[in-house]
Amino acid sequence: MEALMIGVSGLRGTVGGTLTPMVAMRMASAFACWLKQTQKPANGRYFRVVVGRDGRPSGPYVRDAVFSGLMASGIETVDLDIVTTPGVAMMVKHARADAGLVITASHNPIQWNGIKLLTRDSVAPPPDAVAEIRKLYDDQVTSYERVENLAAPARNTETHALHTKRILDYIDVLGVSSKRYKVVLDSVNGAGCVATNTLLSKLGCSVIHINNTPNGQFPHEPEPTKANLTQLADEVKRHGAVVGFAQDPDADRLAIIDEHGEYIGEEYSLVLCAQWLLSKKPGVAVTNLSTSRMLDDIAARNGSRVIRTPVGEAHVVDAMIREKAVVGGEGNGGVIDLRVVPGRDSMVGMAYVLQLMADTGKTISQLVAQTPKYEIVKSKFECRREDAERAVAAIRSRYASEKIDVQDGIRIDWPDAWVHARASNTEPIMRIIAEAPDRATADARIAAVQEVVKTVL
């Protein structure tokens, strides 16, 4: 299903279909208008926006169209080139910029690309701001400047080195390095290729790096799911590595393979990092409604508590800032430490998992075995947002007597399980996720909700 998605996660569309150079330029122009209408430039003269991209083949033309819209609006652009999404978020503040744009479609296949918007706080704009930007886009409003008001473009090549240094500031580098861990890394030919290898090398790891050319030619479907990581699993076993790490194209998500070549999944990325961080400093952990109860168990074990938000990095970050959280993230492999960057960061996840291994002397499989086990089942199907909203209303009516949370779609909680049904923010699909102590119970919960959905779709 082709669609142009515009929401809190920015804009995404299909290359040559719903995403064209004109669409990209219109969005950049609308964003520039919004900045000029709602804020004052930090330097008192002109707005500065940092721009980075993942390695997708369509990236250069989307970047150039974005630059055209920004520069014509009198914005000073800072080209970061191919960098990770958390790297761009970090550079917004480091470069004293007023905003950031990331040209990426995250885990979406190669036929997609997009533009992620970041405010001067390095997070996605709030929903009301997104609505304002969307209206400027729809109305094709521009604020192009005369030549005397144009700002010269700039380049910055510091991102990878600075990102690596910031993470290492919170790691016992000598303690991890002394273990000489052998690690297999799959960067899916995405933006994480350069900085991640550097980080792991500085942590004393022997790195077997597969799919390590940032050209955006994905060797497998880029979402880091079990079905897509068979090569990584095989390489972990072949090399006798202690762990396999998988990134998505913009390197904000992390999935893990244990020392036996078994996929433990994205849910454990946040859980393992939280285990290390909360053991050092108990406090608040923040995650979304679709994330496993394992985090609640880890938090309770460490005298901490969990706060849940709607799905979306911005919601999690907002709650983390408000609650002064120790750790946050999402069950899709996104780990957030505000001290490094206010966004999901696969590199933070890798470093903290290695630190946990070094501190405990345990393998990934042993750490997983110590964590209460649940079965989580994730399903999705093509669905327009308006249809998804009708489906959610029907589910709410059917389960009105149960414990429900309607912050984002609907989540239903039982003593032994939960189900979360919602429309995706980034794709024209609906997701239904369930978790229970066993697969049969989780499947049954999803099947029951799907029956309700069928009555309205």
* Helix axes 21-38 and 59-72, enclosed angle (nearest 10): 40
**E strands along 38-139, which residues?**
48-53, 76-82, 99-103, 112-118
Give the up-direction half-sphere exposure of residue 244: CA atoms within 13 A in the CB hemisphere. Answer: 30
- How far from chain centre, in Å, is Cα 65? 24
Kind of pairing, strands 48-53 and 10-14?
unpaired
Backbone angles phi, psi at 316, to 5 degrees: -65, -45
Number of helices followed by number of strands (H, E) in the chain: 15, 21
Kind of pairing, strands 243-247 and 263-265?
unpaired
Distance CA 429, CA 267 (A): 21
**E strands along 254-338, which residues?**
254-257, 263-265, 284-288, 305-309, 327-330, 334-336
Distance CA 94, CA 309 (A): 28
Give the dihedral sign, CA 258/232/297/337.
positive
Separation of first and last alpha carbons in the chain: 16
Q: Are 214 and 178 in contact (CB under 8 A)?
A: no
Per-residue DSSP letters for 259-276?
TTS-EEESHHHHHHHHHH
SS3 label, residue 172: coil
In the residue annotation, 29 being an active-site residue is answered as no
Backbone angles phi, psi at 91, to 5 degrees: -75, -20
Catalytic residue among 106, 122, 304, 424: 106
Per-residue DSSP letters for 119-133?
-TTSSPPPHHHHHHH
Q: Which residues are designated catalytic?
A: 106
